Amino acid sequence: MILSVRDLAVSFRRDGQELTAVDHISFDVAEGETFIIIGESGSGKSLTGMSIAGLQPQAASVSGSITFKGRELLNRPDAELRRVRGREVGLIYQDPLGSLNPVWPVGDQIAEALTAHGLLGRAEAARRAVEMLDRVHIPDPRRVAQAYPHEISGGMRQRAMIAMALAASPSLLIADEPTTALDVTIKAQMLELLSELKRELSLTVVLITHDMGVVAEVADRILVMYAGRIAEIGDADAIMQRPSHPYTAALMASAMISEARPKQDLDAILGGAPGLGAFPSGCRFHPRCARARDDCSRVDPPRRPWGAVELACHHPVAADATHPLVEA
């Protein structure tokens, strides 16, 4: 396993109370796989990703263990962490403007990522920056290297951010909602680019999203998060062919709008996801769950093996009760 997360908890103090946004979750990511963390607002998916990258909000306290290539990343001296993360972990966000400095030419920013970690000298880093811009298919990379972020298009900024994340040849790429704010045609370009880069650079990818369509396209394994906990985790084909957790099934149904009869009601989950500090007792999904029974509001469902996957649910969707959503 290239990445092992054990008992990870991320919490905040609010009004003298300890609020746990990521509630003691564990998972492994294998080398070379595309591992998806899917969930909606408040599920803790982004906090989980940011904690792996060491970029959780200052107010958050993180506990548990995160080992990368056998080395513990949590509670280590900053300098050592920066070295590991700068070289080994690339990060891309939803908003490229948030990660690019507006008053610095694009090429210099990519080069800086390399010189700051002592990987390359300045001249070599500048050459590498142009090479990376070319690698992400930016036309005329020499010119773009000298441009400021506002001088290039949104699609190019997205590519430049990916070039920066991959400049130091990391083995792990964490992508937090990389396609969420993008237009349809740009999203299509980004998904093609990411899968090409993953293949050619042998990357391990942890991709955080709420878009089931993206999951269907790229996932090797899936972690479904709800209200800070793991609802379901396992092989992507197994989960997509037969989602067992009612929440996973509902998320998939909501992504199948193109197959619904026009103008007819969609299968919608009732209510909204609970906010931090308002997580329900027992199974946190129970107030919205069509399969909920008495025990669901009282007893926390433990995580357990279920067919080819693991889930936390007292009453999973039965193996023979549903037709496959995705053909084998």
* Residues near other proteins, by CB under 8 A: 40-41, 153-156, 183-189, 192, 210-213, 216-217, 237, 240, 250-252, 254-260, 262-270, 272-273, 275, 325-327
Which DSSP string do the residues of 143-201 spell out, in sequence order? HHHTS-GGGS-HHHHHHHHHHHHHTT--SEEEEESTTTTS-HHHHHHHHHHHHHHHHHH
For 62, phi and psi rounded to 5 degrees?
-115, 130
User: Shortest approach of other proteins to residue 41 CB, angstroms?
Assistant: 5
Q: Nearer to other proteins by C-beta: 60 or 255? A: 255
User: Shortest approach of other proteins to residue 279 CB, angstroms?
Assistant: 14
User: Shortest approach of other proteins to residue 7 CB, angstroms?
Assistant: 27
User: Shortest approach of other proteins to residue 226 CB, angstroms?
Assistant: 10
Distance CA(170)–CA(208), nearest Å, equals: 18
User: Shortest approach of other proteins to residue 187 CB, angstroms?
Assistant: 7
Distance CA(76)–CA(282), nearest Å, equals: 35
Q: Nearer to other proteins by C-beta: 59 or 268? A: 268
Q: Nearer to other proteins by C-beta: 169 or 180? A: 180
For 217, phi and psi rounded to 5 degrees?
-80, -40
Residue pair 51/85 in contact by the 8 Å Cβ criterion? no
Residue pair 37/208 in contact by the 8 Å Cβ criterion? yes
Distance CA(326)–CA(217), nearest Å, equals: 12
| Strand 221-226 with 34-38, pairing | parallel
User: Shortest approach of other proteins to residue 210 CB, angstroms?
Assistant: 6
Q: Name residue, tokens 């308002």.
A: 278
Q: Rg of the chain over CA atoms, in angstroms?
A: 21
Residue pair 47/21 in contact by the 8 Å Cβ criterion? yes
Q: Nearer to other proteins by C-beta: 7 or 183? A: 183
Q: Nearer to other proteins by C-beta: 114 or 225? A: 225
User: Shortest approach of other proteins to residue 33 CB, angstroms?
Assistant: 16
Distance CA(250)–CA(243), nearest Å, equals: 9
Q: Nearer to other proteins by C-beta: 135 or 187? A: 187
Q: Nearer to other proteins by C-beta: 123 or 270? A: 270
